[in-house]
């Protein structure tokens, strides 16, 4: 249960409604215990008049007995109606609160996911995260709603029924309750098994969700290799393990419920046997026997639901443990902390080194560079030289292993992360588009719900998208498939560039954003960038030298170190690595003029 203590904050939030629900449970049980009392009194009175009628041979007392039965029958109906009304409001309060807590918990998990850094997403699978915000939260809801409601109802039902039973005949009540210790021990042992089986089920479910998510995300690759049968077989194996875990849990439950009903049946036999002996000795009436039988039946559902409630609690505990494992993961970069970002002078990397987790060598080693405000710096080098790592550090997706990055002399970590990123327009190497219209995807960078369509079209024109938009059925209002699957790689990159140019940012970062664009379109976009980025601060990363022609300074990386630095002409005159790359791509350079 300790894992569920983290939900207390939500219970406090809705304490008023929960208390009303508990009061409804109390009054519902008070009304329910009067039903057996009315049965006892009605039966005793009816038997009394029927005996008199039989003794004197008159039917007048029979009519009195019938009238008494009808009167007590009406009382039973009224008590049942009152109980039903309170049960209705009980569910309206507690079950509604459980839905509200489910809503809050999902939002809290989603917000926390967004705060976690890239290292978290490298370690955890998307399917597992989806399972925790979906299936696990649903299990927790069953605890805060039905489980709490039934458990509180069990407590008050037992309290009210046992009070009535002991007030009538303590001797018989003691014998009737003899099976309860056995039941308690059974619940204790079985609940441990349920918890173990449930944890195993949730782990298997995450595995299935992850497998399915990866399959659907990579369906084009799977189809192109004709690997559908292999993945179907893999999913079937995952599903078999999930089924096996569920059958183990079902086996525990199938043993538990018959055991409880057996113990309740034993209590009923005790009432019939000992109650009959007490009635024969004149210490009990037939009404008392009927009353006790009703009380026993009133305990059947609470006792039976105790096993179900226990299973719900154990499921919720297992699920909340998995949720807490993520919620207790502290983000390395806290958006709420730090000073508001303002850029006026320069960005500086001072002896910056960086190594990815579990890597054996540094991705970057002793990087020193300065980017003045209003200038453009280009970064190039062979694949794996560390170009994108510089951008990831600048975007604070990772933190340097050593050294520091400063902006206007202030350590980058001192700035409020959300304020800083709102001033950076970033085009990542791995383009991601949402399942929205092209216009909405371009306007995404402006953070405005009601975007200006004219500005969107202008940004699309900057990225040479007009011809492509004209070929689409709905133009700029065409809805894209998942991750922009309906567009080519080059089209997706240009939408991403348009998204970046929509924002009036302090810093622009382009991470190899033209790698999938043909040479002719690339030249047109470069000309546009040269105009749009005049007087603005930007970093352009490219493995091709043509996009770097707009840069005021170019840096060449190799093995995570800066091996050349200078203007384009300086590096050509140096006849080093950049000159060699330029020679290899000479055709592109000949076609390009600013």
The pTM (predicted TM-score) of the whole model is: 0.67
Strands 402-407 and 346-354: antiparallel
H or E, element range at 376 = strand 376-381
Q: How far apart are CA 375 and CA 506, in angstroms?
A: 11
Q: How far apart are CA 182 and CA 267, in angstroms?
A: 12
Q: How far apart are CA 201 and CA 193, in angstroms?
A: 12
Within 8 A by CB and 6+ apart from 438, the residues are: 460, 469, 472, 475, 476, 477, 478, 480, 495
One fold for 333-423+507-589 and 426-504: yes
How many Cα atoms within 13 Å fall on the side-chain side of residue 280?
6
Nearest alpha-carbon partner for 220 in 485, 429, 479: 485
How many Cα atoms within 13 Å fall on the side-chain side of residue 375?
16
CB atoms within 10 A of CB 164: 19
> What pLDDT is attached to residue 350?
92
Question: What DSSP string runs through 205-243?
Answer: HHHHHHHHHHHHHTHHHHHHTT-HHHHHHHHHHHHHHHH
3-state SS assignment for residue 20: helix
Quick one: 358 exposed, middle or buried, by C-beta within 10 A (0-12, 13-18, 19+)? Answer: exposed
Q: How far apart are CA 387 and CA 277, in angstroms?
A: 92
Assigned CATH topology for domain 95-327: ABC transporter transmembrane region fold (1.20.1560)
3-state SS assignment for residue 566: strand
| β-bridge mates for residue 427, sequence order | 510
Q: How far apart are CA 455 and CA 175, in angstroms?
A: 83
Q: How far apart are CA 241 and CA 204, in angstroms?
A: 7
Contact 150, 305 (CB under 8 A): yes
105-to-91, 109, 131, 225, 437 alpha-carbon distances in Å: 20, 6, 14, 41, 30
Domain 426-504: CATH superfamily is P-loop containing nucleotide triphosphate hydrolases (3.40.50.300)
Within 8 A by CB and 6+ apart from 463, the residues are: 494, 495, 497, 498, 501, 525, 528
> What pLDDT is attached to residue 398?
84
Give me the CATH code for the 333-423+507-589 domain, please. 3.40.50.300
User: What residue spans define the domains of the chain?
Assistant: 95-327, 333-423+507-589, 426-504
Per-residue pLDDT of the chain in tens (594 residues, 90 and over written 9): 678 888 888 889 998 999 999 999 889 888 888 888 888 777 777 666 566 655 565 556 566 667 777 887 888 889 889 988 998 998 889 999 999 999 999 999 988 888 887 778 777 777 778 888 888 898 899 888 888 888 888 888 888 888 888 888 887 788 777 777 777 677 667 767 776 787 788 778 878 887 887 787 777 678 777 778 888 888 888 888 888 888 888 887 777 767 767 777 777 788 778 877 777 777 777 777 787 888 877 877 776 677 678 778 888 888 888 888 888 887 765 556 778 888 888 999 999 999 887 778 888 999 999 999 989 899 998 888 888 889 888 988 888 999 999 998 888 888 888 788 888 888 887 777 777 888 888 887 665 555 677 888 888 888 788 887 788 778 888 888 666 677 777 788 888 888 888 888 888 888 887 776 777 777 778 778 778 878 888 888 888 888 888 888 999 999 889 998 988 888 888 888 888 888 877 654 455 444
Q: How far apart are CA 368 and CA 406, in angstroms?
A: 11
CB atoms within 10 A of CB 408: 14
- Token pair 């959300």 in the structure block, residue: 418
């Amino acid at each position: 249960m300790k894992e569920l203590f983290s939900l207390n904050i939500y219970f406090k939030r809705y304490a008023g409604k929960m208390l009303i629900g508990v009061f409804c449970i109390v009054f519902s049980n008070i009304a329910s215990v009067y039903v057996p009392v009315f049965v006892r009194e009605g039966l005793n009175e009816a038997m009394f008049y029927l005996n008199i009628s039989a003794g004197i041979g008159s039917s007048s007392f029979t009519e009195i007995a019938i009238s008494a039965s009808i009167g007590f029958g009406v009382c039973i109906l009224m008590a049942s109606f009152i109980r039903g009304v309170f049960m209705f409001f009980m569910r309206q309060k507690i079950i509604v609160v459980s839905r509200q807590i489910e809503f809050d918990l999902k939002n809290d998990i989603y917000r926390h996911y967004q705060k976690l850094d890239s290292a978290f997403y490298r370690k955890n699978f998307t399917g597992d995260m989806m399972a925790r915000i979906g299936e696990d939260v649903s299990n927790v809801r069953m605890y805060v709603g039905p489980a709490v409601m039934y458990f509180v109802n069990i407590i008050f039902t037992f309290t009210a029924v046992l009070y009535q039973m002991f007030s009538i005949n303590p001797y018989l009540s003691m014998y009737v309750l003899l099976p309860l210790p056995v039941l308690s021990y059974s619940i204790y042992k079985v609940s441990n098994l349920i918890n173990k089986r449930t944890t195993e089920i949730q782990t298997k479910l995450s595995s299935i969700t992850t497998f399915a998510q990866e399959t659907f995300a990579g369906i084009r690759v799977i189809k192109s290799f004709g690997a559908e049968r292999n993945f179907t077989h893999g999913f079937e194996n995952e599903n078999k393990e999930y089924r096996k875990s569920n059958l183990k849990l079902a086996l525990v439950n199938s043993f538990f419920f018959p055991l409880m009903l057996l113990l309740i049946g034993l209590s009923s036999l005790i009432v019939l046997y000992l109650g009959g002996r007490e009635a024969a000795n004149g210490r009990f009436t037939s009404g008392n026997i009927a009353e006790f039988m009703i009380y026993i039946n009133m305990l059947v559902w609470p006792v039976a639901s105790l096993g179900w409630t226990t299973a719900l609690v154990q499921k919720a505990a297992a699920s909340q443990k998995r949720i807490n494992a993520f919620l207790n993961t502290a983000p390395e970069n806290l958006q709420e902390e730090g000073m508001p970002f303002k850029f006026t002078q320069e960005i500086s990397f001072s002896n910056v080194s960086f190594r990815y987790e579990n890597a054996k060598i540094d991705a970057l080693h002793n990087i020193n560079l300065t980017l003045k405000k209003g200038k453009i710096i280009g970064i190039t080098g062979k694949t794996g030289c560390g170009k994108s790592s510089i951008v990831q550090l600048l975007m604070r997706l990772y933190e340097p292993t050593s050294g520091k990055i400063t902006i206007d002399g202030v350590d980058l970590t001192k700035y409020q992360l959300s304020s800083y990123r709102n001033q950076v327009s970033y085009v990542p190497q791995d383009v991601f588009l949402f399942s929205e219209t092209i216009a909405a995807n371009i306007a995404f960078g402006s953070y405005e719900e009601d975007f200006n369509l004219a500005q969107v079209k202008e940004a699309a024109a900057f990225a040479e998208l007009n011809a492509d938009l004209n070929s689409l059925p709905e133009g700029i209002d065409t809805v894209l498939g998942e991750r922009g699957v309906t567009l080519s790689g080059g089209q997706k990159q240009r939408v991403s560039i348009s998204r970046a140019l929509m924002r009036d940012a302090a810093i622009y970062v382009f991470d190899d954003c033209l790698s999938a664009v043909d040479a002719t379109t690339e030249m047109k976009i470069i000309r546009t960038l040269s105009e749009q980025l005049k007087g603005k601060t930007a970093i352009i990363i490219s493995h091709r030298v043509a996009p770097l022609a707009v840069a005021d300074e170019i840096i060449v990386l190799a093995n995570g170190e800066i091996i050349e630095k200078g203007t384009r002409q300086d590096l050509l005159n140096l006849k080093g690595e950049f000159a060699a790359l330029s020679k290899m791509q000479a055709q592109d350079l000949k076609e390009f003029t600013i």
